[in-house]
Amino acid sequence: MWILMKLTVFLILVATLHATAKAGAQKVTLNEKNVSLEKVFKKITKQSGYVFFYADDLLQKTKNVTVVVKNASIEQVLDLCLEHQWLDYSIVEKTIVIKEKQIEKTFNAPFLLPPPFVVKGNIVNENNQPVSGATVAVKGTSQATTTNEAGKFELKGIDGNATLLISYVGYKSQEISINGRPSLAVKMQPDIKEIDQVVVVGYGTQKKINLTGSVASINGAELEKRHVVNPAASLEGLLPGVRVVQSSGQPGAEGVGIEIRGMGTYSGAGSSPLVLINGVPGSLSDLDPNNIESVSVLKDAASASIYGARAANGVILVTTKDGSKNGGKFTVNYNVNYGTSTPTKLPDLVTNSVDYMNLFNQAKTNSGITGADQLYPQSVIDLYKNPADPVKYPNADWTSLMFHSAPATMHNLSVSGGQKTTYNASIGYSDQVGVMQAFNYQKYNAQFNLASTISTRLKMGFNIGFKNGNQSQPRNGAQDAFYQTLAHAPTALPF
């Protein structure tokens, strides 16, 4: 039995060597340029009689090859063809089997997380004095800390190649790459542009660097970016410590309320701050946003004390534009803004009259009301099923009929100029349509100011402003119109 097994193995080995030797002895001549593997295989089959065996999808993603050989063995030709392919071959007698190339798997060492990185630092100002309270944040993450009284900080468990964002009020923000350094020394530079900004305080102006009170300011260019007819509403989110609440969306009656650092007093004077326009008490809502040069908010007692008891809720100082910003050049500006307002959310009501009447009757019946005079009769319901007159028997969607996207347009034309004597004249027109039918507001503004510098100590001038508003609304007001829209049945049209 053992002799028979050894003889069988010997015969198989001889047959294999014979097939390989026979394939190696077969010669092929090819001259193919930039052709597919399938075409090369056909040429080999034609010359040698060898048959190729492979799955159809194996050759779909292969590259074209160029084969120029003379009297080469089949193995040499196949090695050349499959050199840059993801295929391999084996020869069994007169059959060449094409198969996927086997990739040897290698096992890498397990991935190890780098140890937590700790960076420490010291922050000083331009005079090499420690900066306390500076913010140090890791860019792209939520990790942050602040410096202590000695100007030192420490951040743990961060990436050693991260970037730190360092900021402090009155100083330029910096971005510093750690680059594996465990210790950093940072010197802050003052933001000259910010501390040299001139703000209105009391009856004059000061630079921010000289301020001791709490004052926030914003220029008119920022307000013009917000497409609102009411300038008071444009302050929302722009000034720290200032809370702006709009209680209505009705054009011309938005009910904008402003609070500075919360309630300042509970007296009959209310919680509204004192608004001064060029030093004169007025209403911020009456102005044209295009005429505003700057807005300053005096938030604490130190900055607002000059106005006495009237400043208990803070002070808003508004400065309008004059002709001094153009370097004496005659300038004409025309601005136009257009926008639309859309209701954010409307209730989903039953708009089919037949469904409404059936549900109404069902609700009455469930409540124990079965009187004929309290329910819709079937004869009336039948009239709405196949209405001969859709106006008389409608399926009215009151929310769609009463609410719509509303445009708002603002125009402003101004003329300014002068050197020793400067002038600025402007007229404005705003047309705001409400998102609800029958609501509209039109506002007309005109302003003229003239200032003449007589000497270094004497300056004279005047400022004249005009405002007229036309507000349209239903007789019973916005609240009643809204309630009527929600309460009415779809069996009748609103107009």
**pLDDT in the model for residue 117:** 82
The whole-angstrom separation of Cα 178 and Cα 157 is: 13
Half-sphere exposure of 38 (CA within 13 A, CB side): 9
What tens-digit pLDDT sequence spans the chain (495 residues)?
333 333 333 334 334 434 444 444 578 888 888 888 888 888 888 888 888 878 777 777 788 888 888 888 888 888 888 887 878 888 877 888 888 876 554 444 444 555 668 899 999 998 899 998 888 999 888 888 989 989 999 998 888 889 999 988 778 889 999 988 989 999 998 876 555 555 545 545 555 434 445 677 888 888 888 888 888 888 888 888 888 888 888 898 888 888 888 776 666 557 788 888 988 888 888 899 898 988 888 877 766 667 777 778 888 889 888 887 777 788 899 999 998 989 888 888 899 999 999 999 999 999 988 887 888 999 899 899 988 888 899 999 999 899 999 999 999 999 998 888 899 999 999 999 999 998 999 999 999 999 898 888 888 888 898 999 999 988 888 888 888 888 889 998 877
**pLDDT in the model for residue 303:** 62
**pLDDT in the model for residue 216:** 78
The whole-angstrom separation of Cα 86 and Cα 61 is: 9
**pLDDT in the model for residue 120:** 92
Backbone torsion region of residue 126, taken as left when φ is above 0, otherwise alpha when ψ lies between -120 and 50, otherwise beta? alpha
**pLDDT in the model for residue 406:** 92
Burial pattern 242-262, b for ≥16 Cβ within 10 A else e, equals: bebeeeebbbbbbebebbbbe
The whole-angstrom separation of Cα 122 and Cα 131 is: 9
Half-sphere exposure of 258 (CA within 13 A, CB side): 27
Take residue 307 and report the two structure tokens written for it: 């106005």
Closest-CA residue to 165 (of 149, 156, 178): 178
> Tokens 């009856």, residue?
203
pTM beyond cutoff 0.85: no
> Tokens 């002038």, residue?
423
Domains of the chain: 2-100 (3.55.50.30), 117-192 (2.60.40.1120), 208-320 (2.170.130.10), 325-343+404-480 (no CATH), 353-395 (no CATH)
The whole-angstrom separation of Cα 187 and Cα 368 is: 82
Residue 52: φ, ψ to 5°: -95, 140
HEC secondary structure over the chain: CHHHHHHHHHHHHHHHHHHHHHHHHCEEEEEEEEECHHHHHHHHHHHHCCEEECCHHHHCCCCCEEEEEEEEEHHHHHHHHCCCCCEEEEEECCEEEEEECCCCCCCCCCCCCCCCEEEEEEEECCCCCECCCCEEEECCCCCEEECCCCCEEEEEEECCCCEEEEECCCECCEEEECCCCCEEEEECCECHHHHCCEEEECCEEEEHHHCCCCEEEEEHHHHHCCCCCCHHHHHCCCCCCEEEEECCCCCCCCCEEEEECCCCCCCCCCCCCEEEECCEECCHHHCCHHHEEEEEEECCHHHHHHHHHHHCCCEEEEEECCHHHHCCCCEEEEEEEEEEECCCCCCCCCCCHHHHHHHHHHHHHHCCCCCHHHCCCHHHHHHHHCCCCCCCCCCCCHHHHHECCEEEEEEEEEEEECCCEEEEEEEEEEEEECCECCCEEEEEEEEEEEEEECCCCCEEEEEEEEEEEEEECCCCHHHHHHHHHHHCCCCCCCC
